A and B are shown apart, each in its own frame.
Chain A
């Protein structure tokens, strides 16, 4: 700028400094901007792939769609366990700043949530932040509409429809079918370790896991495979769209068809009423379990959404033990029902059925006097079974010995755990000498392990150490009724529509004539024996064969007889085993009424009602019955029949007495 230099020297000077410095500053700024451009290129071009993936991870969220759980059906396709829709409202905790004020708003819409506030807050604390918490399920249509209307105004509130497991027969199948409930920490840990585990599904709030019975045993079959929705979400996690290409549909769990008949199962529950016990019925030829009930049961629906602890406590502490599966886990002395097998053992041991003993009401043995509930006189084996004479079978037990009886009992299924697909079976005890030795050795008291002669007579009448479950007793009567095959019980008929194949039954190595003898005696038990008053089917030519049993549940004082006038928990267990039709067996069953009193008065009438329905439902049997048949059941009539039978005490235990003097017999 030449013209300036003439005018002001100092300004000229400062202008020179300024121009240089301005140039420098411009250069530095340009350098800075250039560096920013380089950084931009580095982020967008060099690291672009990485950030694009992170962006997609932000943008998309894989939402799990739980698979519908497979249905559980009875043998005729009736739905036992299925899924029903449920309107529910949930809360997305990570979108909420003040949970209490949100819950206040919710309780304004749904007043019923006020009482469950504590439960909701606890669940919110326990759940992962990304998992929504259920506020209320099973909303009515009106409530659901109200919530849906307001859900948009209350951040974090989600109202949608869920599939909830439903058990349509309430408590009838509670033990055998079991139930599902929320997965607990222990199960979760175990499930997560499995290689095929789907963590998204396991952590899903509506995921339920089978906890008992078929639901537990076939959990993975019923569960299915989760699907997923690829959702576009905003920064708050709210869905703004769906990418249908990235989504996949869930695969429903497979349906399971059971061999059970829902009508029979329901009938068993009905006839038991408030009585405690179990009933098992099997098809004599196929081994299919048609009925397996344990009463009182519980409503499995209670467990699906989480049972209130108060209710659980009541169930758990009730003396009739609703939570216990009495058909499989409860073991009881078989009482007189065991006499069929003792007779079988005697025949197999070569003792002819014509062998006679005289019953004078007592059987002195060693320093004990074992007693009978009556004075039956001179009897052969047939008569002894029909009248259920104890003295005769004391004699048989002593003659045959415990080892042979145990061998035959095991042949007929006692002491065994059967592979029916569900767990919970207790083996019970079929005592022999080896068992007693081992039993006491295990407990460190080998001296007590010796088999005393006095241990043997009780075995003959199904008392003493003998202990079995209801399924085992049913298997034994099934094998007697079949007579030719080692019938095994089955519970699962088909999975996913495909019939399950079971191996052929092995041949039963018992002489047919011996089988026929026991069956004939069992038929007479109902026509003229201990069950004559309570075992009649009233179906014309179709009759039932059976055996009553009353098992001592506690020790009486010397010589006392069982009576019905005791506190419930001190009464005897009542048994009845049966098969029908007696001439051409198709169905076999076993009923135990825990602390029911006497087999003839408490168990047989119940068995009769269940068996009647099975026979009426069978078209082949139905043809043989002439005239109209009532297939309903009258609880009042049943109660009356039980009371009437109770006025005629038969087949009841009597305590042995100890004698100070008396010869000790030689060891058996």
Chain B
């Protein structure tokens, strides 16, 4: 606010001053998290940059650059992008349903020539933008309890149902949770929240018996009793717990984790990387990841709260809600508190597409902070604004 009073007209729009407004502490925390991830990938890759650590760091550098570029993009661009990106993502999801490529038993990928990608990843960000724009343009009372709420409810339900049907339970759940978080943050009535919670509680057993695939059902059974089948479905959970438990306070040391180095730990470089972190770097390492993640989430929420536009607030908080869901679900899954769903630990786990999604989200968050004083009109011709 002090700065706003001092700044000359037009100065905020200058890119060099925008770059100065980027929260570099936040960026440093992201880099630390990615650094821990690369370190462990170096270790579980047999103390080698290949095959994971190098490309993980390269991806991070690339996506960080992208995030920094997104951070200086005018918020009006995001606002303009909201509905079209949602529409394109939805169309792509429907295309996956119709002509998608089946990999590892699930239909998640679309191929365009040499490029193949999962539209569900785009949807994670698009849903946040679309909902933010919707609430931005409505009266605050409507967000509490009104006929209009059918629109965001459908906007969430359709893509999450499509993704779950692929079947990708984890991502579908993530879309549902993120969308729900945005609705709550926008001011949804507490009774409605309680009602939705109740409906969720009822639908879980119903879904278990009528909706879930056998392998998903097995995962839940195994989660409830991992020792029941230690060499089959319970293997992941048990080996993960063994890896974490045997790490102790300070860990076995980099490259010395027998569980991860000798392949007892499955998916050690992707979904179960937290187990490898905790085995080799001990409780200190595991707690470090949780602490960094927590700090990132709190800082992002604070940045969202600083925004002068409702769109900026909801977009930034929605993006961080996605990230928070990733962290909490992955942490709980690795520690045997949640069934095994394919949810990685963002930035730490190896994998380009999830990193792309969350880094784009972080770019948005940084951008919301950079443009926190920017007022956005409720109804406007976006194109006209951009032309200006």
Partners in one complex: yes
Chain A contacts to B: CB under 8 angstroms: 1, 3-4, 7, 10-11, 13-15, 17-19, 21-23, 25-26, 29-30, 32-33, 36-37, 39-41, 43-45, 47-48, 50-52, 54-56, 58-59, 232-236, 240
Instruction: Name the contact of B327 in the complex, choosing from A17, A33, A55, A234 (C-beta under 8 A).
Output: A33
Q: Counting CB contacts under 8 A, is B308 at the interface?
A: yes
Bound Cα distance from A44 to B181, whole angstroms: 32
Q: Counting CB contacts under 8 A, is B278 at the interface?
A: yes
The minimal Cβ–Cβ distance linking B86 to chain A, given in whole angstroms, is 21
Q: Which of the candidate stretches B112-120, B151-159, B206-214, B245-253 sits at the interface with the other chain? A: B245-253
**In contact, B262 and A47 (Cβ under 8 angstroms):** no
Could you list 28 examples of A-B contacts with CB < 8 Å?
A4-B308, A7-B375, A10-B140, A13-B140, A18-B186, A22-B185, A22-B313, A25-B184, A25-B317, A26-B298, A30-B294, A32-B324, A36-B335, A39-B332, A39-B337, A40-B283, A40-B286, A44-B249, A48-B246, A50-B245, A55-B245, A55-B246, A56-B258, A58-B242, A58-B264, A233-B262, A235-B263, A235-B264
Q: Counting CB contacts under 8 A, is B90 at the interface?
A: no
In the complex, besides A14-B310, A18-B304, 6 extra interface pairs with C-beta distance below 8 angstroms are: A11-B308, A30-B297, A30-B298, A48-B246, A48-B248, A233-B262
Contacting residues, chain B, for A58 (C-beta < 8 A): 239, 242, 258-259, 262, 264
Contacting residues, chain B, for A47 (C-beta < 8 A): 245
**In contact, A48 and B332 (Cβ under 8 angstroms):** no
**In contact, A33 and B301 (Cβ under 8 angstroms):** no
**In contact, B263 and A40 (Cβ under 8 angstroms):** no
The minimal Cβ–Cβ distance linking B333 to chain A, given in whole angstroms, is 10
Bound Cα distance from A56 to B279, whole angstroms: 13
Residue of A nearest to B257 (CB): A55
- Contact A59 B258, CB 8 Å, known A18-B185, A37-B290: yes
- Contact A33 B328, CB 8 Å, known A18-B310, A18-B313: yes
**In contact, A25 and B245 (Cβ under 8 angstroms):** no
**In contact, A44 and B278 (Cβ under 8 angstroms):** yes
Instruction: Name the contact of A40 in the complex, choosing from B186, B264, B290, B310 (C-beta under 8 A).
Output: B290
**In contact, B245 and A22 (Cβ under 8 angstroms):** no
Bound Cα distance from A252 to B181, whole angstroms: 72
Residue of B nearest to A17 (CB): B187
Q: Counting CB contacts under 8 A, is B226 at the interface?
A: no
**Contact residues of A: prevailing secondary structure:** helix
Residue of A nearest to B4 (CB): A3
Bound Cα distance from A104 to B247, whole angstroms: 44
Q: Counting CB contacts under 8 A, is B165 at the interface?
A: no
Q: Counting CB contacts under 8 A, is B383 at the interface?
A: no
Residue of A nearest to B332 (CB): A36
**In contact, B305 and A19 (Cβ under 8 angstroms):** yes
Q: Counting CB contacts under 8 A, is B282 at the interface?
A: yes
Contacting residues, chain A, for B331 (C-beta < 8 A): 33, 36
The minimal Cβ–Cβ distance linking B386 to chain A, given in whole angstroms, is 22
Q: Counting CB contacts under 8 A, is B1 at the interface?
A: yes
Bound Cα distance from A58 to B243, whole angstroms: 10
**In contact, A40 and B244 (Cβ under 8 angstroms):** yes
Q: Counting CB contacts under 8 A, is B321 at the interface?
A: yes
- Contact A52 B248, CB 8 Å, known A59-B258, A234-B262: yes
Residue of A nearest to B313 (CB): A18
- Contact A45 B248, CB 8 Å, known A22-B305, A25-B184: yes
- Contact A21 B297, CB 8 Å, known A37-B290, A58-B258: no
Bound Cα distance from A232 to B262, whole angstroms: 9
Q: Counting CB contacts under 8 A, is B176 at the interface?
A: no
Residue of A nearest to B144 (CB): A17
Give the tally of cross-chain contacts (CB within 8 A).
Answer: 156
For chain B residues 276-301, which have a beta carbon within 8 Å of chain A?
278, 282-283, 286-287, 290-291, 293-294, 297-298, 301
**In contact, A44 and B187 (Cβ under 8 angstroms):** no
The minimal Cβ–Cβ distance linking B346 to chain A, given in whole angstroms, is 14
Bound Cα distance from A18 to B290, whole angstroms: 25
**In contact, A25 and B321 (Cβ under 8 angstroms):** yes
The minimal Cβ–Cβ distance linking B314 to chain A, given in whole angstroms, is 7
Residue of B nearest to A50 (CB): B245
Q: Counting CB contacts under 8 A, is B354 at the interface?
A: no
Bound Cα distance from A22 to B368, whole angstroms: 15
**In contact, A44 and B262 (Cβ under 8 angstroms):** no
Contacting residues, chain B, for A54 (C-beta < 8 A): 242, 245-246
Most chain B beta-carbon contacts within 10 A, residue among A25, A47, A232, A235: A25
Q: Counting CB contacts under 8 A, is B143 at the interface?
A: yes
Contacting residues, chain B, for A51 (C-beta < 8 A): 241-246
Residue of A nearest to B238 (CB): A54
Contacting residues, chain B, for A44 (C-beta < 8 A): 244-245, 247-249, 278, 282-283, 286
Bound Cα distance from A14 to B139, whole angstroms: 9
Most chain B beta-carbon contacts within 10 A, residue among A3, A17, A55: A55
Residue of A nearest to B323 (CB): A29
Bound Cα distance from A503 to B248, whole angstroms: 66
Bound Cα distance from A30 to B140, whole angstroms: 27
For chain B residues 54-95, which have a beta carbon within 8 Å of chain A?
none
**In contact, B310 and A15 (Cβ under 8 angstroms):** yes
The minimal Cβ–Cβ distance linking A2 to chain B, given in whole angstroms, is 9
Bound Cα distance from A32 to B297, whole angstroms: 12
The minimal Cβ–Cβ distance linking B377 to chain A, given in whole angstroms, is 11
Bound Cα distance from A58 to B244, whole angstroms: 14
The minimal Cβ–Cβ distance linking A235 to chain B, given in whole angstroms, is 4
**In contact, B308 and A25 (Cβ under 8 angstroms):** no
Contacting residues, chain B, for A4 (C-beta < 8 A): 308
Residue of A nearest to B287 (CB): A37
Residue of A nearest to B244 (CB): A43
**In contact, B283 and A41 (Cβ under 8 angstroms):** yes
Contacting residues, chain A, for B301 (C-beta < 8 A): 22-23, 25-26
A-B complex: 3 closest residue pairs judged by Cβ atoms: A51-B245, A55-B246, A14-B140
Most chain B beta-carbon contacts within 10 A, residue among A10, A21, A30: A21
The minimal Cβ–Cβ distance linking A156 to chain B, given in whole angstroms, is 16
Bound Cα distance from A232 to B242, whole angstroms: 17
Instruction: Name the contact of A11 in the complex, choosing from B249, B294, B310 (C-beta under 8 A).
Output: B310
The minimal Cβ–Cβ distance linking B240 to chain A, given in whole angstroms, is 10
Most chain B beta-carbon contacts within 10 A, residue among A3, A36, A234: A36
- Contact A15 B262, CB 8 Å, known A21-B187, A44-B248, A55-B246: no
Contacting residues, chain A, for B249 (C-beta < 8 A): 44-45
The minimal Cβ–Cβ distance linking A595 to chain B, given in whole angstroms, is 62
Contacting residues, chain B, for A1 (C-beta < 8 A): 1
**In contact, A29 and B245 (Cβ under 8 angstroms):** no
B210-227 interface mask toward A, CB cutoff 8 Å, 1 = contact, 0 = none?
Answer: 000000000000000000
Bound Cα distance from A55 to B246, whole angstroms: 6
**In contact, A235 and B262 (Cβ under 8 angstroms):** yes
Contacting residues, chain A, for B242 (C-beta < 8 A): 51, 54-55, 58
Residue of A nearest to B337 (CB): A39
Bound Cα distance from A44 to B278, whole angstroms: 8
B1-18 interface mask toward A, CB cutoff 8 Å, 1 = contact, 0 = none?
Answer: 100000000000000000
Contacting residues, chain A, for B135 (C-beta < 8 A): 14
Bound Cα distance from A515 to B185, whole angstroms: 120
Contacting residues, chain A, for B283 (C-beta < 8 A): 40-41, 44-45
- Contact A48 B245, CB 8 Å, known A11-B310, A21-B185: yes
